[in-house]
Every structure is written in C-alpha cells, then in structure tokens.
Amino acid sequence: MDKEKLIPLVVVLGPTASGKTSLSIKLAKKFNGEIINADSRQIYREMNIGTAKIPGKMIRGKYVALGVVHHLIDIKNPSQKFSVQLYKNLAVKSARDIFKRGKLPFLVGGTGLYIKAVVDNLNIPKIKADWQLREKLEKKSLEVLAKILIKKDPDVLRFIDLKNKRRIIRALEVMSGSNKKFSELRTIGEPIFSVLELGIEAEKNTLKKNISSRLKQQLNTGLEKEVEKLYKKYNFKAPGLQAIGYQEFIKYFQHHFTKDEALGLIGQNTLNYAKRQMTWFKKDKRIKWVHSEKQVERLIKIFINKNPR
C-alpha cells in the first residue's frame, strides 16, 4: 500500500490510571474523531466498575460516552474467549469505517499487544486450543513457564509479557501445535496505517496516588457487588474474570484472603501491572512521550497536516 493511501491513526497509550481516557475524549471532540478501545478488559459487558470503563450507553449498536463514539467496548460476555487476532481484525475494520466517514480514528488503551497488533499489522497464527496441554501448564509456576518459553524461543521477548501467565501458556500451546517458534509465526505485515503514537507517562508516586484514589472510588461505587454478581453468574475461570480487581475479590469470596488483604493485593497488582506496561511501551522507540495537553494537540495538528483526510 502506498504511503499516500495509509489511513491516519492516532494512538494514545500509557499505563493504567495515567489519564488516557479523559485526554482521549477531549482530543476526539477537538479533532472530529472516534475512539477504538485498546483495553483487553473493557471489551467485556457487565465489567464496568472494575475496568474503570467510562459510563456510556449503546446507541444504534455503538457505545457512546460523553458525546464520543467508542468502538470495541461491551462486545463480549465475560465467559467468551477473545483473541489478539480477532481484536486486530475488528480494530482495523473500525478504523477503516471511521476514516471512511471523514473522521479521525483514535486507538486508546494500555494493552500493549493489542496496540502492537494493529500498528504493526501482526499476522497471528490460528492454532486450536489444546485443553490437555493448558491444564498441564496451568499447574506450573509463572517462573517455570517463563524459563521454558525463553529456552524454546529466546526471541519471544519481543511479543510476550513474561509476567502474564495466560499469554505464556498460549505461546507454548501455539508452538506445540505448529512445531515452530512463536517468534517465527508472529510476523509483521504490510502497513495499513500512518501512525502517531502518543505516550502518557506518569511519575511513580503520581501513578500510585491515582491507583489508590481510583480504587477508593471503585469501592464506593460498588466494585465488590459487581464482582460478586459476576462470580455467581459465571464460572470463576471465565476469561473476563481473570482481570485484576476481579481475581482478588473472587479469592476473598473463596476465603483465600481477608477483605483487607484482597484490597491490598488489588492496589499492588495494579501498580505492578502499570510497571510492566511501561516496560513494554519503552521498547517502542516510535512512541512520543508527552507531558501536556498543548504538546499533544500540537503533535496531532502536525500529523493531520501530513495526513489529510
């Protein structure tokens, strides 16, 4: 595809609780855009408080919040599986649709692999689930699984967060089903987009404060009741319920933790997740790290001038 034909795409990324959502709403309104969700948990219905989902409602099949159309929010039930490949296909389709209607697509979130899949047009292999292998691997610790994966495929660090047990198991499953290295199977395709990647960075103390403040707000607005309702409705192993904030409360309901221990773990696990997100994003030298709204707007204006719709 010629560069002139590439679809302009603005990516707003960063760690959890860094302020991406509020900034992206302002930007979408200012630059006549629509937002494509890049948070792997906000795709699930009923998971609202624990995912810090911006309140909105479905209007003619589209999620509208604060006057801005959001794509890929509330598209699956917590019990349904959802792959990176499916996400990429839907996100690309959404971006094409937004652009076709004369608007600017914004890809917003903190799930690094989702963002990379879209930006780099990753070709991801289709390998059927091997439930017997998964069950066997689930019994192993995160550290053991990471060592196995690195030994089998040292280049996998480009694609996998070694703190994410589910992703490691899937990578091992894919290699087992294809008899090839995971890094060889996951390749970069021809570019679809002309991309401006904007990173929202927050100092560690600010991030910690934001996470603590958000957790208090989530508790005040009914996080415990939300998790309890979903725990009763769905199997606790449901894909959606593996998220931070849900797993800790579920273990509290199962009497593994006290409530105070669960809350402490939610805060610590969220902070650890934010650190892992930053480690992932810092590998991408194309990201422009921004520190003010004015700086962001200036960069987008330059980008639009270079990529007229």
Type of residue at 20: K
Q: Which CATH superfamily is domain 3-124+189-202+284-306 in?
A: P-loop containing nucleotide triphosphate hydrolases (3.40.50.300)
Long-range contacts at 289-298 (CB < 8 A, ≥ 24 apart): 289/199, 289/201, 290/198, 290/199, 290/200, 290/201, 291/201, 293/23, 293/26, 296/23, 296/27, 296/198, 297/27, 297/30
Q: Which run of H or E residues covers position 96?
A: helix 84-100
Q: Which pLDDT score is estimated for 60? A: 87
- How high is the pLDDT of residue 204? 86
How far is residue 113's CA from residue 128's CA, in Å, rounded to a whole number? 20
**Over pLDDT 70: what percentage of the chain?**
98
Q: Where on the phi/psi map is residue 268: left (φ > 0), alpha (ψ -120 to 50), or beta?
A: alpha
User: Model confidence over 31-85: pLDDT tens digits?
Assistant: 999 999 999 999 999 999 999 999 999 998 889 999 999 999 999 999 998 988 8
Contacts of 282 (CB under 8 A, 6+ apart): none
Eight-state DSSP code of residue 225: H
Domain-wise residue ranges, the chain: 3-124+189-202+284-306, 131-184, 204-274
Kindly report the pTM of this predicted structure.
0.88
Asked whether the CA dihedral 61, 64, 68, 73 is positive or negative, the reply is negative
Beta-carbon contacts of residue 106 (< 8 Å; ≥ 6 apart): 9, 10, 11, 12, 24, 27, 28, 33, 34, 35, 36
CB 197 within 8 A of CB 288: yes
* pLDDT level of residue 261 (50, 70, 90 thresholds): very high
**Residue with more model confidence, 168 or 38:** 38
CA distance 225 to 140: 32
Average pLDDT over residues 136-146: 89
**Cα-only R_g, the chain:** 19
Q: Which fold has domain 204-274?
A: Helix Hairpins (1.10.287)
* Residue 32: predicted pLDDT: 97
- Give Dmax over CA atoms of the chain in angstroms: 59
